[in-house]
Amino acid sequence: MRYRTLKNIILPALLILLFLPIISFGQSEATFEMARTRFKQGITLFNNYSYLGAIEFFRNALSVYPEYHQAREYLARAYRLAGYTDEALTEWQYLFDISRDAAVQNKIDMLRYHRVQSMQQPLPPEYTHVRTLESRDLKSYHFRYPTDIVVDRNKMIYVVSYNSGRIVKIDDKGKGLRTFKPAADSRIFSIDMENDTLLFSDFANDRIYCTDSNFNANFIFGESGSGNGQFHGPQGVCFDEQMGIYVVDSGNHRIQKFSKDGSYILQFGTKGNYEGELLNPTDVAVDGEFVYITDTGNRRISVFDTSGNFITHITDDNLQSPRGLVSQNGELLISDSSSGLIVYNIKTESRVYFSSWNEDSSKFSRLYSSVYDRDGFLYSLDHDKESVAIFSPVEKRYTNLDIEIKSVDVSKFPTVAFYVSVRDRSGKPVYALRPEEFFVTEDSARIQKVSIDYLHERKLKSTMVFCVDRSEPMQNWSDELIWSADFILKEMKRSDSVKVLDFTDDYSVASDYDWSRRRLLKSLRDGTFGEGKQIGRVLYNAITDLLKTDSKRAVVLFTDGIVNETSFEQYSENVIIDYARCHYIPVYIVSLSQNSEVLKDICDKTGGMFIEARKVSDLQRIYSDIRNQEEYRYVVVYNSFKESFYSGWWSNVSIEVESKGESGIEWGGYYIP
């Protein structure tokens, strides 16, 4: 009896031990499939810009299967894109701790740097050589004895060739694009560019040309002489912020100022070496209310105000033969043909000297002009070497670009579209990248043809969300609300649209997206007032509303400027700022009564503007600022090699960007439909 009892116990136990691995494996596989299903649901929401919803599904997948690292990667991305940067950092740190992956560490470094960079003091510029563009390598696009250079928003380079009297247009890799010569006997000396408008001087013919970026003439002015509007060998030219024109009339030792259509306004400077006098000036730059001139013969920079009154001189032992002068980012780039580049900080008066690189094995011969592009790269024009040396700020060489996947569209599979942004070290968008600078790999296979110009080709339009404070104190400002909002509405085009959200302790849609000024004004008039002021909630939802739009986007908040203890209870100020900055959606706040440091901070850090309603000029700017935003998003489009029988499979995709010595990589993927 005892033997039978032991047999009845031991035999089932042996059977359990025998089949336990099979049962355990089956349970593990089932658990993973459950997690995978939730991950897939999260991906659908992620690609639909519903990041908060995606977060819940990714978290759910991890609660079922904690080792599902792909779900954790997307959880980190969703936190970041939803504005929760600290939570994103936590998830990326976990992934780095278990992987020691350098790409993951770069994610962490970028997020941390973007969080603190606004509090850091700017460092003096240091440069590292990227490449040199030689005139002799450009064949028919050569530039003999060059004298000046500008770089446009698309990083196209315009080099003035004095000897051949023409302007050569090339890209930053040295590919010739176009040449322009206004007259057979021209000797072009200087060039400037603002808002895609070129300004250049013809030294031989005493003329100033104003054209578009394709050299189609807008107007021409000037003739030989010493009277008003006449020149004797014009050299440096520049625009001011209002497109006013300044010309260095070198032979007459003076500066002449003209309106944006070329009409004469005033002149200042006479020949000499005392205060307010000039000797063979060569170039000019304007910063705010001040005009800076390379007073070459006197080896100094002379400073006047825009009314022509002498202010001061800038002197330096390294100013031996100052030639080119550019004002950018609060700095003067002074190109001295004898001593090299002097970077002069206008505010602090500090100076950085730069004349050689590659451990002093390379140096400028006769530097005539230097200019930054929009990403901070330096282009220096050497007159004797007939070359353009391109330099990167040194910190850019040691920090990868930050690439971020915002969404993936496979609705037209096998065509796949990745919506991505590319940032530099400081968190600013990197514009004007070209298709050949993107490299896409899908499941270890390099995609041969990539397009990136989708959104840039869209028709210009703007989409805005008006957030209207309906708290009880705002009833006193109802007329001012209508008046201030109408500065935007009366400028709108049929292609634009505005959505109106009213808010108190909650928010509601007062008007869905509409272009009609009459209907939108009616919705603003008809709103009802109540208790509460949930500013954080309405701003967060307004930003969310704009994520799917493919136009120029912005949030405009109308309020009395009062912030109470519950205004940012649900969504904090930092979450709003991180959310808006991540998607480059500026927040404009029109205050009808009081100023608020919290609201000002949101505007400043999202690229918007805090506006006091009584400042009409600021109200008049809102619409044009929004509509003229530059598109920051890239849509990376390609045709997948996958066939329909792969439906339901996950396809791994990596996107790399390489530009001017900088590089970055992002990885992700999509489920094949």
Domain match, 535 and 560 both = yes
Helix 573-582 × helix 597-606 angle, to 10°: 20
Whether residue 7 is predicted with pLDDT greater than 50 in this model: the reply is: no
Write down the pLDDT at residue 509: 95
Q: Averaged over 350-366, what is the pLDDT?
A: 90
Q: Does residue 7 lie within any of the structural domains? A: no
User: Do 132 and 269 have their domain in common?
Assistant: yes
| Average pLDDT for 623-651 | 89
Tell me the residue ranges of DSSP E strands in 75-184.
Answer: 127-134, 146-151, 157-161, 166-170, 176-180
Together in a domain, 526 and 447: no
Task: Please check whether residues 379 and 254 belong to one and the same domain.
Answer: yes
302 in the same domain as 353:
yes
209 torsion bin: left (phi>0), alpha (psi -120 to 50), beta (else):
beta
- Shared-domain flag, residues 314 and 200: yes
Lowest mean pLDDT among 128-137, 203-212, 434-443, 454-463: 454-463
d(CA 551, CA 457) in angstroms, rounded, equals 11
What percent of the chain shows pLDDT beyond 90? 75
Q: How far is it, in rounded angstroms, from Cα 453 to Cα 633?
A: 9
Amino acid present at 253:
H
pLDDT over 60 (residue 531): yes
Same domain, 619 and 517: yes
Residue 385 lies in a domain: yes
Of 397, 398, 399, 378, nearest in space to 389 by CA: 378
In sign, the C-alpha dihedral spanning 318, 321, 327, 333 is negative
Residue 16 lies in a domain: no
Give pLDDT, residue 5: 41
Structural domain containing residue 97: 29-119
* Residue of higher predicted confidence among 660 and 228: 228
Pairing of strands 552-559, 462-469: parallel
**pLDDT tens readout for residues 570-620:** 999 999 999 999 999 999 999 999 888 999 999 999 999 999 988 898 999
Q: What is the CATH number of the domain that holds 210?
A: 2.120.10.30
Check pLDDT > 70 for residue 142: yes
Q: Which of 67, 99, 119 is the last residue of a domain?
A: 119
pLDDT value at residue 626: 92
Does 286 reside within a domain?
yes
pLDDT confidence of residue 619? 92
Span of 105-114, 314-323, 518-527 with lowest mean pLDDT: 105-114
- Whether residue 155 sits in one domain with residue 49: no
Q: What is the CATH number of the domain that holds 417?
A: 2.60.40
State both tokens at 614.
């009584």
| Low-confidence winner among 98-107, 249-258, 525-534 (lowest mean pLDDT) | 98-107
Burial of 237 (0-12, 13-18, 19+ CB in 10 A): buried
pTM higher than 0.75: no
> Region 212-216: what's the mean pLDDT?
93
Which residue among 119, 138, 163 closes a domain? 119
Kindly state whether residue 588 falls inside one of the protein's structural domains.
yes
Least confident of 170-174, 357-361, 580-584: 357-361
User: Do 480 and 618 reside in the same domain of the chain?
Assistant: yes
- Could you say which of 97, 119, 141 is where a domain stops? 119
The predicted model gives 367-390 an average pLDDT of: 94
Assign 105 a pLDDT band (cuts: 50, 70, 90).
confident
d(CA 527, CA 521) in angstroms, rounded, equals 10
By C-alpha distance, which of 240, 277, 280 is closest to 260? 240
Which CATH number covers residue 598?
Answer: 3.40.50.410
Number of structural domains found in the chain = 4
6 assigned to some structural domain: no
Q: Is the pLDDT of residue 394 over 80?
A: no
Contact 602, 577 (CB under 8 A): yes
Lowest mean pLDDT among 113-117, 178-182, 432-436, 464-468: 113-117
Question: Is residue 158 assigned to a domain?
Answer: yes
**Mean pLDDT rounded to a whole number for the chain:** 89
Q: Is residue 11 part of a domain?
A: no
Same domain, 217 and 242: yes
pLDDT at 20: 44
Q: In CATH, what number is assigned to the domain containing residue 74?
A: 1.25.40.10
For residue 489, pLDDT beyond 60: yes
Same domain, yes or no: 292 and 145: yes
User: How do residues 94-104 score in pLDDT, each as one tens digit?
Assistant: 998 998 887 88
350, pLDDT greater than 60: yes
Report pLDDT digits (tens) over 443-476: 989 998 999 876 666 678 899 999 999 999 999 9
Whether 378 and 436 map to the same domain: the answer is no
